[in-house]
Homo-oligomer: A and B are copies of this chain.
């Protein structure tokens, strides 16, 4: 591969979940925001916003939903929001109707804007020597999160991002080999679990050797286990929560 400051950082990405007790400087914050702001946006609709949570009460409320002790603790917590409210307001204040804002199509474009911007924000943070972790866990209870954040209809929290000065050095987690995730022209339907034997061994070794939370586990074992097994969870309220917000109705 071709090595430069950016790509070297990218292929060495680790999620950081333990931070020093120091918030971002104003300059670091602005840099992260500017990187997010200049990310590609679908049809120039610019349908995302970033909520920066600095109030301990709100941080604690989100941490309770996420059920992860590092959420809203040391470092800085951001919630990336798919935002169709701003464009709805523009249309209303110009005397127009909601148009296509309630369609699944336009909602998914907002989701795309939001997630692209989040990755840019994390890349910017990492380029400054900071670390971070993407928080899907903030959607454990979507209705509750929307209530905690006081979000209006036509907005939806997609992901959280915790960023700060790293206070841990986790090992690089092995990912699926390139030949399992990149294909030329034809998507292969003949997937065989046997092709993942070497990878499973790599993952098993990773869990066995890492400094914290050692265990015996493999990739296929995780996919075959509780994460994806049927169970009741408040995460299943996602679609209803979207609809409650007026989103993806059609």
A151 CB → nearest B CB, Å: 5
Q: Is the CB of A175 within 8 A of B86?
A: no
Q: Give the residues in chain B near A227, CB-CB below 8 Å.
A: 43, 45
Q: Assess whether B91 is in contact with A127, with CB atoms less than 8 Å apart.
A: no
Any B CB within 8 A of the CB of A63: no
Do A120 and B10 touch across chains, with their CB atoms under 8 A apart?
Answer: yes
Which chain B positions have C-beta within 8 A of A38? 10-13, 175
- The answer to whether A50 and B183 touch across the interface, beta carbons within 8 angstroms, is yes
The CA of A2 and the CA of B229, in the complex, are separated in Å by: 45
A97 at the interface (CB under 8 A from B): yes
Q: Does A31 contact B (CB under 8 A)?
A: yes
Chain A 213-250, CB-CB to B under 8 Å as 1, else 0, gives 00000011011100111110101101100000000101
Inside 8 A of A94's CB, which chain B residues have their CB? 193, 220, 224
Which single residue of chain B is at the shortest CB-CB distance from A239? B104
Nearest B residue (CB) for A172: B38
Q: Are A178 and B34 in contact (CB under 8 A)?
A: yes
Interfacial chain B residues near A83, Cβ < 8 Å = 181
Residues in B with CB closer than 8 Å to A109 are 136
Q: Is the CB of A192 within 8 A of B93?
A: yes
Contacts of A181 in B (CB 8 A): 33, 37, 46, 48-50, 83
Selected A-B contacts with CB under 8 Å, 20 pairs:
A1-B34, A6-B124, A10-B38, A13-B40, A33-B178, A37-B181, A43-B227, A45-B223, A46-B175, A46-B181, A53-B184, A89-B193, A91-B224, A94-B220, A105-B235, A108-B238, A149-B187, A150-B186, A155-B187, A236-B250
